[in-house]
Every structure is written in C-alpha cells, then in structure tokens.
Amino acid sequence: MVHIMKRLILASVFTLHVAGAWAQQNDSVQIRKIVNEVLLSGKCYNDLRYLSNEIGGRLSGSDEADRAVLFMYSKMKEYNFDTVWLQPVMVPHWIRGEKEQAYATRGNKRIELNVCALGNSVGTGINGLSAPVIEVKNANELELLGKQGKLKGKIVFFNSPMNVLHIHTGTAYGEAGWQRTKGPAMASRYGAVGALVRSLTLALDEHPHTGATQYNDSFPSIPACAISTIHANELSALLSIASYAETQVYMRTTSRMLPDVQSYNVIGEIRGTEKPKEVIVVGGHLDSWDNGDGAHDDGAGCVQSVEVLRTLKTLGIKPKRTIRCVLFMNEENGLKGALKYAEWAGKSDEKHLVAIESDAGGFTPRGFNTSATGKSFEKIKSWQPLLKPYGIETIKYPGGGADIGPLNKYGTVLIGFVPDSQRYFDYHHTSIDTFDKINRRELELGAACMTSLIWLISEYGL
Amino acid sequence: MVHIMKRLILASVFTLHVAGAWAQQNDSVQIRKIVNEVLLSGKCYNDLRYLSNEIGGRLSGSDEADRAVLFMYSKMKEYNFDTVWLQPVMVPHWIRGEKEQAYATRGNKRIELNVCALGNSVGTGINGLSAPVIEVKNANELELLGKQGKLKGKIVFFNSPMNVLHIHTGTAYGEAGWQRTKGPAMASRYGAVGALVRSLTLALDEHPHTGATQYNDSFPSIPACAISTIHANELSALLSIASYAETQVYMRTTSRMLPDVQSYNVIGEIRGTEKPKEVIVVGGHLDSWDNGDGAHDDGAGCVQSVEVLRTLKTLGIKPKRTIRCVLFMNEENGLKGALKYAEWAGKSDEKHLVAIESDAGGFTPRGFNTSATGKSFEKIKSWQPLLKPYGIETIKYPGGGADIGPLNKYGTVLIGFVPDSQRYFDYHHTSIDTFDKINRRELELGAACMTSLIWLISEYGL
C-alpha cells in the first residue's frame, strides 16, 4: 500500500513536472513573440523622440505638460486601446523664472558657480541674496552647528557626495537625498537664509541637478539651489584655504510657486476577457523637470508602458485580466497624480492585483524589484528563467515606485522595473537628460521584459 | 556500523560545507576590497582619457600606435609591476589616405554617400572609380549573380542588415560579418571592380563603420568601402525605383598598404609567489582603427587589464600564480601581436593556465564566456555568486577572444569578459568611438570583476 501510494505520488509529481515544463515552453514561445514584435516594430523609441525633442521638459502646470497629455492620449487612441481617458487632477505650478546666477568670493578670489533652483523653492528676489557660507557634511554636524547659532544668517552648503561604493546607484541617491529634500528646511530652522546643495550624482561635471525640496511650514522658506559637483568641490576648496577672509556666496533665483492648475493622468486599458475586475497597472510619470527633456526621467517609463499595451494589441493577445497603462502627472514635485489615481482606485469595485512602474531610466534591463512576499514572490521568481534571455537576471524583495506606492494600502503587489543603474544619475534632473542618451535597443528590451512579465501575470494571476 | 558510517559521512559533508562557506565568505571580503579600490582610486578611467583624447586612433604602424606603446609601458612602470617589457613584432602598415568620397546617380537623381575605406583595402586611384552598382543580400545571391556574369564590371553593394532579433548584438555581428571580411574577395572572383558594404551596426545613422577585409590572392584586390546604414537604405531605395536608367556609383579612396613596420606588444607582470610558472594572461588590443579614438575598441580593455595588476599591487595582494598583462598590437588588421605572443609562449617553460580578454567595450559587466569545460568550467561557475553583486550574472560556454585565441593550442583556458552588448556596435569602428561614450563606473566595475576573477584563479587554480 505504501508502495502504491509512493508510486501514485511519484506519478503525480512527474505529471505536474512535465505539465510545468510544457507550460514554460509555451510561455517562452509567447514571450519570444512579444520580444520580436517590440524589436522589429516597436514604437516606443519614436514616441520618446517626439516627447523629448518636440515637447521637451514638461513640468506640472506647464504648457509642455498639457501637450504631453494630449500627445500620449492620442498615441493610446492610435494604438487602439479598448478605453482611453483623462483623469483630472489639480497639480502645483512651480516656475523656475530667469536663469539662475551664483558666485563665491573670498578676499580677492571669486569663482562662478553653476547652480539651479531646487523645485518648489522660493526665489531670492530680483536683487539676489548675499551671505556668508558654511559647509556641512552630515545631519549631525548641521544640528550641532545650528544649536551653536552658527547657521544664523548663513547660506548652508550641503556637501556630502553620493557614496561610490554602492553598486546600485539608487542606494547612494537614497542615502544622500536628504540634503536636497530636507536640507533647506533643516537649515532654516536654525536661522539660515539660503541653501546650496551638492548635486545628487556620481559624476564630476558642471551640470547642476534640480529636484524637489520640501519646506517645513513652521520655519521660513529659504531660497535653495543645487550646485554642480565640480563647483561644489571648488567652493569646498575655497572654504578650506587658511585665511581670515569670510567666504560669501551671491545667488539669484526668481523661481516661485503659482496657484495650482488642473492637469491629468493619461489612462488607457485593455479589458480582461476572464477577470476584467482584476487590474494590472503599468506606468511611469508624464511630468518631468524643466531643465532637460525628461528623456530618461521618465519619458522612457511612459513610452515603455504604452508599448506594453500596444504590443499585446498588435499581436492580438487577449489578456485574461485587465491591463491598464497609467501615465501619472506630477511625480516630481507633488505626487498628486499618483494620489488621485489611488483615491479613485480605492473607491472602484476593481481589485488592483499588481502595479508595475518604470521610473529608473530607459537602460538595459537587469531585473524587477517587488513588494511581493511568500507565494506571490515565489511565483514571480519562478518566471525569471523565462525572462533571463532578455536581461532579467534578478527578482528581489523589496521594491515598488513613487507613483504606484499609494496603491500599496489596497494590498496591491508593487513591482519596479530595474534597468542598469550606472548611468542614470549622470543625467537625472539635468539639462542633459535628452533623447541622444537613449539607446533604442535598451529601451525596447525594457519594454519587452515588462510586457512579458505583465502577460504572465495576466495569464496566471499572482 | 552503518549508522556510524553515515554519521561520519554526514559530519565530513558538514565540515566540508562549513569550510566551503567559510572560504567563500573570506573570498567575498577580499573581492569587496578589490572592488572598493577600483571604485575609490581606480586609474583606468583617466588612463583611457589620455589614450583616447591625447593619443586617439592608433592603427598599427602609425605614430599614434608608437605613442600608445610608450604610454602604456610608462603606466605599467609607474604602477610598479614586477617586470615590464616590450615584445617586438612586425605589423602591417595600412593607411587610409585622403577623406573618402562617394555618390550614386540614376537618371537625374544624385545622392551623396557617407563611406570609408575598409581596412587593408586598395584605393581607387586619384581619379576614383565609376561603375554600375548591383545590390546583393546574401552569399547565395552573390554566387548566382556571379555565375550569370552579372557582377562583371560592377560595384557590388552588400546590403544585408544585422539581425535585430539576436539579443546579444555580437551574434548579429558574427552573422553579417562575412560581407565585410570576405565580400569584396567573393565579388572580385566574378569580375566585380569595387565593393560597398553596409556598415555592421544595428543603429540607423550616418556613420560608416570601417574594419578589415581579407583579399584572396587568386583574384584582383578591388577597392572596398563601408557605407553608413542610412545611405545604404537610400541607395537601396534608389535601386528599387522602377526605371531603365542605370544606377552608377562613384567612389574615391586613396588607401594603400605600406611595407610592414616594427611595433610591440606591451607586457607587464606580477610574479606568482607559489607557482610562478603558472601564468594567467589578461589583456586587450592596443591598436585601434584610425577614424575614431578607439575608446571602447579596445582602449577600454587595455586600461582594464592594466587596472587588474595595479589594483592587486596597490592592495599588496601577492598572487600565488603569475599574472601577466599583455596589450596586443595589431588585432584589427592582422593579429600579428597575438600570433607573436603565442609563438613565444609555446617556446617558454611556463604553463599558460588561463587567458582573459576584454574586447567587447567598456560597458556595464554582465558575465564571462569561457572555453573551459568539465571541472574547470564548474569551478569558474562556482565563483559566479561571489561576482554577482558586481554585475556578473552569467558564466557560459563557449568563449574566448581574438587575441587570446592562438593560446588555445597549448591547452590554455580562454575567458572573454562580457559587458552589456547593446551599445557596442553603435560606436564600433567609427569616428564616434570616443571617450565621452565611456561611463566611468561601468568601466571600473568591469575592471573590478576581471580583477576578482583573476585573483580567484590565482588562489585556487583551475
């Protein structure tokens, strides 16, 4: 009896194994079809060319953001998605104003500084701001100097470089990011009158990197700029010269926040044939900073997300679950689009199964990071061998993305697409985030991997 | 007794397992040190800046090649390698001559064509060459047309694009490469008077890609040029217009082969402490094409190979086996340096255990391909988890490299470093293979992975 049981168990294990192998073989054929369609006839590269070169930087509230909404809407219509709509959302409208100016002086020395206003920051006024400058390397030093009254009336110069030893550059960005996001507010608390923040990049060059800063309502909003890494080093060197002369920085910015304006998330979907109420979201953010063309951040993620649905439509694949492309407005300086979509999702009678975001550049694919745990994680991981031929070599916990984050509270599994990270912060939030930095095949392989994973989820659930 | 045996076996398996885990842990600490040294204090990026920007294209026989020899020799000395020497080798001396010209005419239509002479090709003479042009897509078509006498007196236009569906671009290059390497000789056999070859790239742009062609001594050497992919498409379109007018191409090249000259392989080594006669070679090729700066092909591989030994020296690591950096001269149009080194190796009393080559660009690391089989292969593969944090995700058979290939006959295990391949053929053999296409961290991570693997081999053998 025991032997018969064993044999039965063995037989069923064998059957399952063979069935599994057979399913994976079919899946790999389907995935190869998907990849071929994107590499042979993909539209994402040309869509990104238009978004970057013809529209360009598209900060929330700008005319360019409006044009980007209409362009992506028209593309979803052109690609024949089942339903396409605009979801209204009120967004901040910050403007940079005139080209920023800055220089440092000490005794008879003077150096020009490449700076740009941080997003959401107030301007200095048209006459600019002149004040002694003090360098800080970390939050403890800031607190100590602040409590000693040494930041009062000063421009605080945050100069902690990103750590080159992190292999994934995003880790280094995460660690150093407080200087930009919270530094100016932390300095203001102790009476500082301005802030200069070392650009968040591993490159040593002359490009200042913008990005949002968050003021604290309890303290004055002080003018805040990013400074290029080369000029941060020069300023630091100037400060280190033994001399009694005080180092002064002059900076002039005319940035300001205007009243909120109406904008839109751009949404298109293919309705599921078997479980239409189970939704898989794929997206990126449509807004970008104003100083470059937002090619990698996040034009790439937008056109890849559209390519996912276009590819399925073109191949005549009818997904079992609903696949919805959401291009979120205002990730960069407010996240209002993401919050609006999540609010709407919370009220709908749909189940948001999974949300996948591409917002780490259009570089060669390397993996997916996910919030999934337990069996859901194992299921995603079991598909990795199917995606490996196209570059997906790592499926890791944790993971997600800024725009899909707010869906987490509904139990939605979050997945972030992980392209190679080495070049991203060379271009991030600068004037050189332009279309010529995009490699067609890298962008397309990313879109193909995203499409393949989404197709697997739509077939098998999680 | 059986139980005791089992326990003993279990205990020793356990011990082995723990010892193995312990060794891997120590190795991972050592590898982290290696990676940190390269990322914090690496010299390869600045060495490549000089090689690319100050010396530039360095075709065999040129003054620039001589300067590159002296520069890399001086670097090996500066980095304090145990022994540094120059190995003389006679190399071909081909020169491009004046800027190439070409255009196509049909009826009253005329289009300019961006072309460049193929390496080793003969010139057209100063008056240029005018002839009717005929397009061929594959070798069968060429043979058929040739036997029908339709190639006689013609310029044969080889226009088979690289296949976008290969995920590794090198595979597509390998498939399409016959057009450049053998096409002109194949056409000459049937009386063709010239050849135009579609550039070997997946990019659609205006840059012609040079590269060596091989004549067949039994047939005349005919002038041969590469044509940019955009102009190849335009020429093909011109040919496809329904019209009785003949399409003529005019091309003018003044390239020619001069007598062989003496050049050098640049060699430096760290002598092994325990098995100095067991040698691990690491290298790239020092010559490059003349039209660009040879930054990716193969300046990157050269500076990475030097970085391997510099890093070990700087960290005070004394390898058990001898590690030798060989910068081979003349890979591009003769392979004379590689043949000379192999000839010398064959006569020495050393055992060339392994040879590792970096000649696929300085892009983000992805893997190693190797000629190793059986236990040697398993040993290399067992180290992959140690290298995965730094990008090495695939160890595959087969593998090697042009310069290390000739060592194969001595039983040397060949290993090719595999960076991401998507961008390589955008720049390969063109005027845009320049230093600005190099990302510092990608280059350094490649060098760090190479150093780590070489250190493991030097410790544990193969």
Chain B: residue nearest A389 by CA? B167
Q: Which of A39, A422, A432 to mutate to test the interface with B (most CBs of B within 10 A)?
A: A422
pTM of the model: 0.95
Q: In what order do the strands lie in the sheet with B194-198?
A: B109-112, B101-106, B247-252, B129-136, B155-158, B194-198, B224-227, B115-117
Q: What is the DSSP string of B68-90?
A: HHHHHHHHHHHTT-SEEEEEEEE
Q: Which residues of chain A have pLDDT under 70?
A: 1-22
How far apart are alpha carbons A120 and B227 in whole angstroms? 50
Q: Which residues of A touch B203 (CB under 8 A)?
A: 440
How far apart are alpha carbons B423 and B202 in whole angstroms? 9
Please judge whether B169 and A441 are an interchain contact, meaning their C-beta atoms are less than 8 angstroms apart.
yes
Closest partner residue to A390 (CB to CB) among B167, B169, B423 is B167
CA distance A426 to chain B (A): 9
CB pairs under 8 A between A and B: 55
CATH 3.50.30.30 in chain B is located at: 99-256
CA distance B390 to chain A (A): 7
CATH 3.50.30.30 in chain A is located at: 99-254
Per-residue pLDDT of chain B (462 residues; tens, 9 = 90+): 445 545 555 455 455 555 666 677 899 999 999 999 999 999 999 999 999 999 999 999 999 999 999 999 999 999 999 999 999 999 999 999 999 999 999 999 999 999 999 999 999 999 999 999 999 999 999 999 999 999 999 999 999 999 999 999 999 999 999 999 999 999 999 999 999 999 999 999 999 999 999 999 999 999 999 999 999 999 999 999 888 889 999 999 999 999 999 999 999 999 999 999 999 999 999 999 999 999 999 999 999 999 999 999 999 999 999 999 999 999 999 999 999 999 999 999 999 999 999 999 999 999 999 999 999 999 999 999 999 999 999 999 999 999 999 999 999 999 999 999 999 999 999 999 999 999 999 999 999 999 999 999 999 999
Q: Which value does ipTM take for this structure? A: 0.94
Output phi, psi for A284, to 5 deg: -150, -175
CATH 3.40.630.10 in chain B is located at: 38-91+260-460
What is the reported pLDDT for A4? 52
Closest partner residue to A167 (CB to CB) among B169, B390, B394 is B390
CA-based torsion, A399, A403, A405, A411: positive or negative: negative
How far apart are alpha carbons A438 and A361 in whole angstroms? 9
β partners of residue A269: A83, A324
Q: Which residues of B touch A391 (CB under 8 A)?
A: 167
What is the reported pLDDT for B23? 75
What is the reported pLDDT for A301? 98
- CATH architecture, range A38-94+259-460: 3-Layer(aba) Sandwich (3.40)
**CATH hierarchy code of domain A99-254:** 3.50.30.30
CATH 3.40.630.10 in chain A is located at: 38-94+259-460
Q: What is the DSSP string of B204-268?
A: -SS-----B----TTS----EEEE-HHHHHHHHHHHHS--SSPEEEEEE---EEEEEEEEEEEEE
Q: Is B169 on the interface with A (CB under 8 A)?
A: yes
Cα radius of gyration rounded to whole Å, chain B: 25
Cβ-Cβ contacts under 8 Å for B15 (sequence gap 6 or more): none
Cβ-Cβ contacts under 8 Å for B182 (sequence gap 6 or more): B213, B214
Please judge whether A441 and B164 are an interchain contact, meaning their C-beta atoms are less than 8 angstroms apart.
yes
Domain B99-256 falls under CATH 3.90.1150.10: no
* H helix runs in B348-408, sequence order: 374-382, 384-387
Cβ-Cβ contacts under 8 Å for B217 (sequence gap 6 or more): none
Nearest CA among B284, B300, B289, B286 for reference residue B437:
B300
Q: Is B49 on the interface with A (CB under 8 A)?
A: no
CA dihedral (B228, B234, B235, B239) in degrees, to 10, reads 160
C-beta separation of A194 from A155 below 8 A? yes
C-beta separation of B196 from B230 below 8 A? no
Residue A353 identity: L
Q: Is B29 on the interface with A (CB under 8 A)?
A: no
Please judge whether B36 and A364 are an interchain contact, meaning their C-beta atoms are less than 8 angstroms apart.
no
Instruction: Please state the CATH superfamily assignment of the domain spanning residues B38-91+260-460 in this structure.
Output: Zn peptidases (3.40.630.10)
Please judge whether B439 and A422 are an interchain contact, meaning their C-beta atoms are less than 8 angstroms apart.
yes
Q: Is A202 on the interface with B (CB under 8 A)?
A: yes
Tokens of A80: 């024949």
My answer on whether omega of the bond before B419 falls inside 30° of 0, hence cis, is: no
Please judge whether A420 and B364 are an interchain contact, meaning their C-beta atoms are less than 8 angstroms apart.
yes
Q: Which residues of B touch A423 (CB under 8 A)?
A: 439, 442
Please judge whether A391 and B165 are an interchain contact, meaning their C-beta atoms are less than 8 angstroms apart.
no
Buried b vs exposed e over A287-317: b needs ≥16 C-beta within 10 Å? bbbbbbbbbbbbbbbbbbbbbbbbbbbbeeb
Output phi, psi for A54, to 5 deg: -95, -35
Nearest CA among A125, A52, A62 for reference residue A92:
A62
Q: Is B37 on the interface with A (CB under 8 A)?
A: no
Q: Which residues of B touch A35 (CB under 8 A)?
A: 165, 167
Residue B51 sits at the vertex; the CA angle it makes with B287 and B333, to the nearest 5 degrees, is 10
CA distance B100 to chain A (A): 27
